[in-house]
Every structure is written in structure tokens, then in C-alpha cells.
Amino acid sequence: MVEFFHAVAHHGFLQYALLAGLLSSIACGIAGTYVVTRRISYIAGGISHCVLAGMGAARYCETVHGWTWFSPLYGATASALAAALIIGMVSLKAKQREDTVIGALWAIGMAVGVLFIARTPGYNEDLMAYLFGNILMVSGNDLLLILALDVLIVAAGAIWYDQFQAVCFDEEYARLRGVPVELFYLLLLGLVALTVVLLVTVVGIVLVIAMLTLPAAIAGHFARTLRGMMALATLLCALFTVLGLSLSYAPNLPAGATIIVVAGMAYLATAGLCAPGIRAWFAARFRGK
């Protein structure tokens, strides 16, 4: 771990990685809080897996057709927003079979991505990077896109804080008070989609859902307001990212997977400590002494 912090001072790519992780933590805290409180982690999972279609298509166009401006992250942004819109419409209109449709889109998105990548000449290590993240490959351009998305997410979260809170807490009441709840639901999914794009660079498509849920779920045990939950989730997300990155560096482990294992263990520990039985046991012990 010490070795990692020495290396950060000398290697630009590590500084980029650290910056990407910290910047995406902000979006992660905001969107993750909504995913957890509105209980839409399955929808978030669907959106994140559809991102592979966009990344694969962009990579294909980049290499085969020479569209050098069309980097996989742009493809990811486009496909995440499209998936959010489609899944959002499905969940608003087709109440009965919502999970089936999301499951189908989830699989189709993955399959389309795999087909594009198979048709792209060259090494196939891209696929592994998309699926499990490769934070050490973040470029200056990627960092700019991450920063722009972060600004968008923070602005949306600040402007519509009251409306999002109402829609997540009591959608029916918000509708009765004249709030366009369907529109805000789609905006919320858009926010989640952009966050998915940020997190894909850090931990990859498959592991995104853990970053969207674990820090916010831990924060939920302690927070009294949505705002507080977002701030705490952001801090936790940053902590897990830095910890995971530094732990993975010396033994040359995959950074994304290490970050998720750290987050998962923290979640299990908190869930255990906050379980009613264990809380009571602690309370009894401390009273005894």
C-alpha cells in the first residue's frame, strides 16, 4: 500500500486513475442513494449491461471505419441513455412483466456488444477491460468526459433535489401535487445511466451495480436525510476506490475486483453490526460493564 502512494507521485497514469476514481465517487454517492432508496437496482443493472452494446459498437467503428473521435466512452454514454429511456418507458407502461423485459434487454445489450467486439480486428483484451474495468488505462480525454458528466449529475441532483426526494418517498402524493412524476422518474434513470458510464471506467460493466448499491446501503444505516446519505456514500465510495487501488497495486491484482471486494466486506460488516440481535448484544455487554 505504501508502495502505491510512492508510485502515484511518479506515474501519471496512477494519478489519472486516482482522479477518475475520486471524481466518479461523487456521482456514485448521488445516484447510488437514489438507486437504493427508490429500489431500482435491477433497473440499474439492466442499464449497465446494455452499455456493452455501445462500447462494442464504438470500438468497432473506431477500428474498422476509422471514426477515431468515437471512443468507447461516448458509445457507452449513448447506449446508457438509450437503455435508461427504453427501460424507463417499459417500467412505467408495462407494470406486470417489467422484470422479464428488463432481463431481456440486459441480455440483448450484452450479446450485441460481444458480437461487435468479435468482429473488431485486433486483440480481444478490450472485452475484459469493459466487463471488469481498467482504471489504469484512463486517458486525459476520458478524464475530461468524466468531469463533464460529474458536473451534469451534481447540477441535476441539486436543482431537482426536492422533486426527486418527493418522487422517491411518495410518488402518488407527488403526482397529486402536480409533479410530473413520470418525467422525473426518467430523469432519475438518466442520472443513473450517466453514473454507470463513469463507474464503468473504474470497475467495469459487471461490477457497476455493486458500486451503485454498497456505499449507499452502508450510508443508509446512518444517514437521516437523503443529502446526508449522498455525502456519506460519496466518502465511502472514494475510500473503497483508493483502498482497492492501493491494495491491488503491489500484488498486481485487478483493481476493479479489489475495490468491489473491499466494498462488499465493508457492507457485510456494517449489515452485521447493525442487525437488531447483534446491536442488542452489544448494548447488553456495555451496560454490564
Report the interface residues with other proteins, using CB under 8 A: 37, 39, 159-163, 165-166, 168-170, 172-180, 220, 223-226, 228-229
Residue 3 CB partners (closer than 8 Å, separation 6+): 249, 250
What is the rounded CA–CA span in Å between residue 75 and residue 185? 23
Nearer to other proteins, 70 or 161 (CB): 161
Tell me how far, at minimum, the Cβ of 34 lies from other proteins, in Å.
Answer: 12
- Comparing CB distances to other proteins, the nearer of 37 and 234 is 37
CB of 175 to other proteins, least distance (A): 7
Closest CA to 199 of 212, 180, 215: 212
Give, in order, the Cα–Cα distances in Å from 188 to each of 25, 153, 161, 211, 279: 17, 10, 11, 17, 35
In 38-160, which ranges are continuous DSSP H helix?
41-64, 72-93, 98-119, 125-132, 140-159
Other CB atoms within a 10 A radius of the CB of residue 289 amount to: 4
Minimal CA–CA distance to 134: which of 259, 23, 9, 2?
A: 259
Smallest distance from the beta carbon of 224 to other proteins, in angstroms? 5
Nearest to 113 by CA among 187, 206, 36: 206
Q: Are 112 and 78 in contact (CB under 8 A)?
A: no
Cβ nearer to other proteins, comparing 224 with 285: 224
Closest separation in Å from C-beta 188 to other proteins:
15
C-beta of 201 vs 270, nearer to other proteins: 270
Q: How far apart are CA 41 and CA 47, in angstroms?
A: 10
Q: How far is the CB of 227 from other proteins (least distance, A)?
A: 9
Between 11 and 39, name the residue whose CB sits nearer to other proteins. Answer: 39
What's the closest the beta carbon of residue 166 comes to other proteins, in angstroms?
5
Nearer to other proteins, 68 or 225 (CB): 225
Taking the least distance from each CB to other proteins, the nearer of 228 and 264 is: 228
Query: Within a 10 A sphere around the Cβ of 74, how many other Cβ atoms?
Result: 18
Min dist. Cβ of residue 85 to other proteins (A):
19
Least gap, CB of 218 to other proteins (angstroms): 13
For the chain, the straight-line distance linking the first and the last C-alpha, in angstroms and rounded, comes to 38
Which CB atom, from 52 or from 174, has the smaller least distance to other proteins?
Answer: 174
Residue 225's Cα: distance from chain center in Å? Answer: 21
